[in-house]
Amino acid sequence: MLDCIIVGSGLAGISAALTLQSNRKEFLLFGSPSLSEKIEKAEKIHNYPGLSDVSGKEFCAALKAQLDEAKIEIKNEKVAGVYALKEKFSILTQEGNTYESRTIILACGVESIRLIDGETEFLGRGVSYCATCDGFLYKGKTIAVVCTTKRLEHEIGYLADFAEKVYLIPMYKDVEIDRDNVTIIKKMPQKIQGKLRVESLAFAAPPSEDIPKDLSVNGVFMLRESVAPSVLVGGLETKDGHVVVQRDMSTNLPGCFAAGDCTGRPYQYTKAAGEGNIAAHSVSEYLK
Amino acid sequence: MLDCIIVGSGLAGISAALTLQSNRKEFLLFGSPSLSEKIEKAEKIHNYPGLSDVSGKEFCAALKAQLDEAKIEIKNEKVAGVYALKEKFSILTQEGNTYESRTIILACGVESIRLIDGETEFLGRGVSYCATCDGFLYKGKTIAVVCTTKRLEHEIGYLADFAEKVYLIPMYKDVEIDRDNVTIIKKMPQKIQGKLRVESLAFAAPPSEDIPKDLSVNGVFMLRESVAPSVLVGGLETKDGHVVVQRDMSTNLPGCFAAGDCTGRPYQYTKAAGEGNIAAHSVSEYLK
């Protein structure tokens, strides 16, 4: 069994990984080969000690080189769920693999986009975060897909293979997908509605002439770079969307630690790196 | 009045300064022009995200360049005391200057050398941390000086100008001071003894043929790179030698924040940088 699984390859996750590697722990770092969209897209970083006025791209390149040197690989799978079992965690990925670990460090960031009304309420009852997990359920049906990043555009194609009709609400520019059964809506929905299950998506006003204010759909997929920690880990204590942590980065679940933006403001690289470092030390202490 | 005074130029202090500068706050950063002996002497740093296998000297050089670019100067005075007044702090330096600030960030590190028995008990009654403040009190007397770093050797000379006899207990190599009235003892004392005031310094065994187990002295100077936070700031809550802080780096004194090694383990650069960042943000929030 692994000593630790780190969820997220932003600064908190990278920092935790570097320290766990120094401490000779067996771990996996789940994330994206390009590390973090947030870092990559930063124009200039002014207040990260040791790097003067570095661009996001330069910072990313330095971090990648450092991970390579430290022989740390990034496991490019999306974590779909974390289950706290007796003295261990079971991690399920959207790729369908299961991993077991004695501890976990959540470094999954925060989504700056607010949840849509009804999203949490209908989770598992028509709302899904995972195209590859739940796509087949919507064969021949009508779905809406809210997608926050171009990186996940391939998942829309996957959904369009099953669904008869896809309404895509992209939160990014340069939409490239071109499928007959995909209609693009450039307005944000306000609310997911239904009784037992999702029945429709409500907009403030009709998004276009052809599309009504209340759009009938069988399901809503929310494709985001990261899933809210409270959704990812059952029983995890959160407050105002942030994981509640102690000074040692421990959460309410023994063996589960959190670091970086997901623990709250300030949303800063230096803070995230510091917390990743502390979390890694706490994991080492915990494993004793 | 200043917005903030940062005490200490290690990673926590530097990180706080960079962020306060971005936030356009008026502040002073008290520390050493060489920043931090701890950083400078580090052989290799492996787990600081963004800098691969950097040496302490390289890291120090990068930090100095960054401070220069950000137009942040280091105030090269030693803080002797911090006094919490109504809605402000008064800071007294060993150079005899006073500064006022609405907030303070303690980033003064930890001394790895344990306190000597009786040190706290006799503070102000024969035990002193400040040669220039109290040296004149020992004109013609016999004193012991425990000095932890070569950087403070010049203060021994200052004390030797006043005292008739100085017993120097150096905690560093390459002692260069050569004065007729200075005798070097290469053993650590165990205890400071006395009734109302300091009367003697006790060793486990006679340090040499000429020097008895109980060495009569009128005073003991403890010359350290940094003073314990609890000694520096009256009324500050500490536990096991560390400042007690909340997640936002606030202490029990309103407007007084702490960051870095002085808040506890892990004693790591990344952790210190992260905490300095958080403390600076908390200062900005507090000043609103």
ipTM of model over 0.85:
no
Q: Is residue A118 part of a domain?
A: no
B interface mutation test: which of A18, A29, A265, A271 has the most B CBs within 10 A?
A: A271
| B230 and B107 inside one domain | yes
Q: What are phi and psi of B19, to 5 degrees?
A: -75, -40
Examine the fold and report which residue of B199, B223, B247 is the final residue of a domain before the chain moves on: B223
CA–CA distances in Å: residue B211 to residues B114, B144, B206, B207, B217: 23, 12, 6, 6, 12
Residues of chain B in contact with residue A50, where contact means CB-CB under 8 angstroms, are 48, 50-51, 54, 59, 62-63, 66, 273
CA distance B58 to A21: 22
Residues A121-155 pLDDT 10s: 898 899 988 887 788 899 999 999 999 888 889 99
Low-confidence stretches of chain A (pLDDT beneath 50)? none
Digitized pLDDT (tens) for each residue of chain B, 288 residues in all: 999 999 999 999 999 999 999 999 999 999 999 998 788 888 888 899 999 989 999 999 999 999 999 999 999 998 988 999 989 999 999 888 999 999 999 999 987 556 789 987 898 899 988 887 788 899 999 999 999 888 889 999 999 999 999 999 998 889 999 999 999 999 999 999 999 999 999 999 999 999 999 999 999 999 987 778 888 898 899 998 899 999 999 999 999 999 999 999 999 999 999 999 999 999 999 999
| B7 and B106 inside one domain | yes
Of residues B53, B247, B281, nearest to A69 (C-beta): B53
How many residues are listed for chain B in this entry? 288
Q: Is-above-0.90 flag for pTM?
A: no
- Residues A200 and A193 sit within 8 Å (Cβ to Cβ): yes
CA distance A159 to B250: 49
| A186 and A264 inside one domain | no
- Report DSSP letters for B189-236, one per residue: --EEEESSSEEEEE-SS-SBTTB-SEEE-SEEEEE-SS--HHHHBTT-
CA distance A80 to chain B (A): 27
| B236 and B105 inside one domain | yes
Residues of chain A in contact with residue B21, where contact means CB-CB under 8 angstroms, are 47
Residues B211-255 pLDDT 10s: 999 999 999 999 987 778 888 898 899 998 899 999 999 999 999
Q: Is residue B262 part of a domain?
A: yes
Q: Is residue A19 part of a domain?
A: yes
Answer whether the bond into residue A266 is a cis peptide, omega within 30°.
yes
CA distance B170 to B172: 5
Answer whether the bond into residue B207 is a cis peptide, omega within 30°.
no
| B81 and B134 inside one domain | no
Number of folded domains that form chain B? 2
* A22 part of contact set with chain B, CB < 8 Å: yes
- Residues B162 and B136 sit within 8 Å (Cβ to Cβ): yes
CA distance A235 to chain B (A): 22
| A87 and A176 inside one domain | no
- Beta strands B79-85 and B238-239: pairing type? unpaired
CA distance A59 to B15: 17
| B180 and B232 inside one domain | no
| A244 and A172 inside one domain | no
Interface of A with B in 59-88 (CB under 8 A): 59, 62-63, 65-66, 69-70
Which residue range forms the structural domain that includes residue A191? 127-223
Query: E strands along chain B, which residues?
Result: 2-7, 27-30, 74-75, 79-85, 88-93, 98-106, 127-128, 142-147, 165-170, 182-184, 191-194, 198-202, 214-216, 219-223, 238-239, 242-243, 256-258
Q: Is residue A257 part of a domain?
A: yes
Residue B94's CATH number: 3.50.50.60
CA distance B35 to chain A (A): 13
Of residues B66, B266, B281, nearest to A49 (C-beta): B66
| B216 and B241 inside one domain | no
Angle in degrees, 0-180, between the axes of helices A11-22 and A56-69, rounded to the nearest 10: 20
With CA atoms as reference, report the closest residue to B223 among B168, B177, B141, B176: B168
| Residue A273 to residue B275, Cβ atoms within 8 A | no
Q: Is residue B119 part of a domain?
A: no
CA distance B220 to B210: 19
| Residue B266 to residue A276, Cβ atoms within 8 A | no
